[in-house]
Amino acid sequence: MGDTFTTRCRFVVLISGRGSNMQAIVNAIEQQGLPADVVAVIANKPDATGLQWAQDRGLTIHGLDHRNYASRQDFDNMLAELIDSYHPDYILLAGYMRVLTPEFVSHFPNSIVNIHPSLLPAFPGLKTHQQALNAGVQWHGCTVHFVTPVLDHGPIIAQGVVAVQADDNPDTLAARVLRVEHRMYADVTAWLAHGRVSLDTDQRVHVSGAANRSFLLTPQGVETTESIL
Ligand code: GRF
């Protein structure tokens, strides 16, 4: 990790549903001409709508029904074996809504990246936008982080914020956070593809050449904090 890849950086993307974050990753690679490939898209639900989009883009897809496995461990063992066959540099979770076993996480040390729709460590788990409204926070957002065995926890790569509006409901808030998610995951994809991301001995993330790693939804769109300070 943190090395410049001798060949192109290899990503495996895991999804569970519509896959809009996956699309942001794939589009970033294509539009920015990144030295990277999504070598497989895997869903734990064979009917995940994002799989069709990936297939239409010519990507290799796998739809695996986790309900066909006797235990979470059995499913994750098979998933790890499938992922290993693609020799990825990173596994990008993009709306992958299944808890990973500690064995799975430790099989891919410092290589699994997740996007979570809250400003971690606030609001791990589900229904994050409702949680934010219930708590009355005035800033909400999203986090891209390395995955550890603890759910929605781990070294933070980037965060993005949106201001909460007085008349927000979970759907309106989710829609604005999603705009930040897409821009942020695209930028993180570029950092990873260029081998700029590393972890220090305190498990803190460094991105070479990035003064800060924060994003903000403004009336003009999603900006990096660097560009507006
Ligand atoms: C995103 O908000 C993601 O952060 C969360 O679930 C949503 C998935 O959206 N984990 P999509 O499948 O990427 O469109």
- Report the separation in Å between the CA atom of 150 and the middle of ligand 1, taken as the mean of its atom positions: 19
- Residue 139 has a CB neighbour count (10 Å cut-off) of 12
Looking at the chain, the whole-number percentage of residues with pLDDT higher than 70 is 97
Ligand 1 contacts CB of residue 21 (under 6 A):
yes
Q: What angle do CA 198, 200, 204 make, to 5 degrees?
A: 85
**Tell me, what's the pLDDT at 227?**
82
Provide CB contacts within 8 A for 132, sequence distance 6+.
Answer: 118, 122, 123, 140, 164, 173
* Catalytic residue list contains 140: no
Is residue 7 very low, low, confident or very high in pLDDT (cuts 50, 70, 90)? confident
Mean pLDDT for the stretch of residues 36-64: 97
Q: What is the pTM of this model?
A: 0.95
Does residue 78 register a pLDDT over 60? yes
pLDDT in tens, 169-210: 999 999 999 999 999 999 999 999 999 999 999 999 999 999
The structure tokens listed for 75 are 């499913």
**Tell me, what's the pLDDT at 149?**
93
Region label for 93, one of left (φ > 0), alpha (ψ between -120 and 50) or beta (otherwise): beta
Mutate to test the pocket of ligand 1, among 15, 20, 119 (most ligand atoms within 8 A of CB): 20
Rounded CA separation 172/135 (Å) = 16
Rounded CA separation 88/103 (Å) = 17
Residues in the chain: 229
Mean pLDDT for the stretch of residues 12-26: 98
CATH number of 9-228: 3.40.50.170
Ligand 1 contacts CB of residue 98 (under 6 A):
no
Mutate to test the pocket of ligand 1, among 15, 18, 21 (most ligand atoms within 8 A of CB): 21
- Residue appearing with tokens 């790693």: 213
Mean pLDDT for the stretch of residues 39-45: 97
**Tell me, what's the pLDDT at 211?**
85
**Tell me, what's the pLDDT at 69?**
95
**Tell me, what's the pLDDT at 226?**
83
- Residue appearing with tokens 């808030």: 173
pLDDT in tens, 98-146: 999 999 999 999 999 999 999 999 999 999 999 999 999 999 999 999 9
Nearest CA to ligand 1 atom 8: 95
